[in-house]
Structure 1
Amino acid sequence: MPCPATGTPRRDRAFPFSRSRPDSSPNSFPRNPPIRLLLPALLAAFLLCPVSPAAAQQPETPPPAIAPQPPPAPPPQDENNKRPPVHNGTSNDRLLYTLPNFLTVETTDKIPPLTTQQKFAVVARSSFDPVQFPWYGFLAGISQAQNNQKGYGQGAIGYAKRYGAAWADGTTEYYWTAAILPSVLRQDPRYYQMGTGGFWRRLGYAISRTVITRGDSGNTQFNCSEFCGTMISSAISTYTYYPRTDSDLRNAGILWGSLLSYDALTFIGREFWPDIRRKREKKRHPDAGVAPAAPGR
């Protein structure tokens, strides 16, 4: 309503957001704070307000799962220095890569004793190995060339008789020394390679195996299986299928000594052949690692 005195419109007295000009005196403050001063306060209140329960209960995103790393591959073994695989407590090695060497052990690891069945099985596996047949043919040829057992004569018939005698000698002696007596006396027919030491020390060790061996318990014993087995085999050969002219005690003693000497040479071969085999294979594959020699009995 217009004022009667001045005719100017009336303004409300206490309207908070009045557009009336504030007092311009230097000591006066504006009656109403500017809106721009409220913005910092609202921002601070927003930042300080508690998080809503829904947001507080929201699970944190788990870190991505790390795939398990595969175990490191074992270092490549030198295929050339591998020991022959073990077959029921015996070896699959061959002397000169040909002759069966199944009763040689090249490790110091504790291995169980052979059962009676295993002793007979390994002897049969060796005695009837295909390589043995030409080997006995070779021995028969030497015997015929030296005209041993003259009662067999010469020619094809003499050679056939000598071949049968050589096979019977080797098979009979091997069964007695490595299967029958070791089973009865509970002795270990295997040869444990020494593997370390000087040449002469190892040579003496190999020869001594004709009289010293291990029992199934692991203790050192007199090698009765070798000593008596060769004696029994010599007696069987001399007094059964050898010519009558050779069937006497003297020839039996000579044959017994020959079998012991032959077995001593075999033990020497068993002792040093693994070293020769590893050296030959190392030359063929010089980049491969060198496996340590395996000491033994």
Structure 2
Amino acid sequence: MHVHAQSDRSNRDAAFALPDAPQAQQTAQEQPVADQQPSATATLSGTVVDTNGAVIQGARITVRSRSGAEAHTVATGGDGQFVFSGIPAGHYDVTATGEGMSTYTSPEVDLGPGTVRIMPAIQLRIEAASTSVTVTADSEQIAEQQVQIAVQQRVLGVVPNFYTTYDWNAPPMRAKQKFKLSLHSMFDPTAFVIIAGVAGAEQYKDVYPGFGGGWEGYGKRYGATFANHVSDQFFAHALYPSLFHQDPRYFYKGKGSVRSRAMYAMSAAVIARGDDGRWKPNYSSVLGKFTSGALSNLYFPESDRGAHLVFFNALTELGTDAVENLLEEFVLKPLTSHAPKEHDQP
């Protein structure tokens, strides 16, 4: 009975089987990935930034094959990024440069067939010097433009705001322009009015009593305050910045948290951007303040002279710079004439 039952089931299964069923054929899409041929081209992308990490728009990127094939060039977009799509696989050199910026050349970049490669961020610095007559002339013109922009900036259209730049990537000024801007600041008509007010406040509070009272005392206070102003402008904003190759301007940040911007503004009193685009201790300002303070011993009352006068005047000036930077960062831009509405992302 058991043998007959199994035989019957086998006969039934055979009856329902489809004879000569065709075998399914694999399409090109169903073929294993390993059987497909890789693309003979590659993709290369990356980002270009300055020494402060800000993206650079319009930088020129060139990939040049070591085999001598035609080079390819693109410009970075508003986000500082570039992409080379569909370039032949091979060994390449990558160069990057921008107007007024240094030139970067990469080590050999190997792009195999089908490679999609993202390069590490390419960093360009501001060129401090030029190597040809043509570039020197252009650099001179750009530096001169910086002065022309600066002298138009006034708070409420009146008070000078010469030493603030709203262009984070502003090219450096040359020594000639540093002295020219310093002279503008020294003898701007508004400076005489402000100094008159400071001398009047000192007279009212009887600061430096050795100067005496009355018009004579006021005149001495006015002269001493004006001398401090001139010496500070000369040493801290012209002479030492030229000798140490540092930029005397405050670079407006304008982005980030309130705390980060406040810390940046206060630190800018003792940290400066060099003409090479790098940040470093502000030797120019600190040494300029102390030099100015030392000279004040020549014209302040004898009873007030000495090391304490030097340190008091120097530290007061540095503290004043920190406060002015805070005002620049948070208050004065909307009140400043000819200040741009937009600025570079630091």
Task: State whether TM-score is above 0.5.
Answer: yes
SS of the residue 1:294 aligns to: coil
- Contact 2:208/2:301 (CA < 8 Å) preserved in 1? yes
- Contact 1:91/1:104 (CA < 8 Å) preserved in 2? no
Q: In the alignment, what sits opposite 2:162?
A: 102
The farther-off stretch of 86-95 and 254-263 is 86-95
Q: 1: distance between equivalents of 2:209 and 2:227? A: 18
Q: CA deviation at 1:121?
A: 0.3
- Contact 2:151/2:184 (CA < 8 Å) preserved in 1? no
Quick one: higher RCO (CA 8 Å, sep 6+), 1 or 2? Answer: 1
Picking from 186, 204, 213, the partner of 2:263 is 204
Once the two structures are aligned, what percentage of the paired residues are identical?
Answer: 32
For the pair shown, the structure with the greater C-alpha radius of gyration is 1
Q: 1: distance between equivalents of 2:222 and 2:313? A: 16
Alignment of 1:107-122 (within 5 A): 107-108=167-168, 110-122=169-181
Picking from 153, 167, 180, the partner of 1:93 is 153
Distance 1:248 1:87, change over 3 A: closer
Picking from 294, 302, 327, the partner of 1:244 is 302
- Contact 1:95/1:270 (CA < 8 Å) preserved in 2? no
Q: In the alignment, what sits opposite 2:343?
A: 294
Give yes or no for the alignment of 1:269 onto 2:318.
Answer: no
Q: 2: distance between equivalents of 1:296 and 1:135? A: 34
Q: CA deviation at 1:148?
A: 1.0
Higher helix share: 1
SS of the residue 2:273 aligns to: strand
Q: 2: distance between equivalents of 1:97 and 1:266? A: 17
Q: CA deviation at 1:86?
A: 5.0
Q: In the alignment, what sits opposite 2:242?
A: 183
Alignment of 1:212-227 (within 5 A): 212-227=271-286
Distance 1:250 1:87, change over 3 A: closer
5+ residue gaps, structure 2, are: 1-144
Aligned residue pair count: 201
- Contact 2:147/2:181 (CA < 8 Å) preserved in 1? no
Superposed CA deviations along residues 220-245 of structure 1, whole A, max 9, x for unmatched, are: 111001111101111111x2000000
Q: CA deviation at 1:88?
A: 4.4
RMSD: 2.2
SS of the residue 1:226 aligns to: helix
- Contact 1:107/1:294 (CA < 8 Å) preserved in 2? yes
Alignment of 1:12-161 (within 5 A): 87-88=147-148, 90-108=150-168, 110-161=169-220
SS of the residue 2:254 aligns to: coil
Q: 2: distance between equivalents of 1:137 and 1:271? A: 27
Q: CA deviation at 1:292?
A: 5.4
Q: In the alignment, what sits opposite 1:36?
A: none
Runs of 4+ in 1 over 6 A off after TM superposition: none
TM-score by length of 1: 0.63
Distance 1:248 1:274, change over 3 A: closer
Q: 2: distance between equivalents of 1:89 and 1:204? A: 27
Q: 2: distance between equivalents of 1:292 and 1:191? A: 17
- Contact 1:210/1:226 (CA < 8 Å) preserved in 2? yes
Q: CA deviation at 1:92?
A: 1.9
Q: Which amino acid in 1 is paired with 2:158? A: T
Q: 2: distance between equivalents of 1:106 and 1:212? A: 18
Q: 1: distance between equivalents of 2:158 and 2:328? A: 13
Picking from 277, 292, 297, the partner of 1:233 is 292
Higher strand share: 2
Distance 1:296 1:232, change over 3 A: farther
Distance 1:149 1:133, change over 3 A: same
Q: CA deviation at 1:91?
A: 5.0
Distance 1:296 1:247, change over 3 A: farther
Superposed CA deviations along residues 104-152 of structure 1, whole A, max 9, x for unmatched, are: 11123x3321111100000101111111111100000111111111111
Distance 1:175 1:128, change over 3 A: same
Q: In the alignment, what sits opposite 2:233?
A: 174
- Contact 1:193/1:295 (CA < 8 Å) preserved in 2? no
Distance 1:91 1:104, change over 3 A: farther
Picking from 304, 308, 318, the partner of 1:260 is 318
Superposed CA deviations along residues 188-210 of structure 1, whole A, max 9, x for unmatched, are: 11111001122222111111001
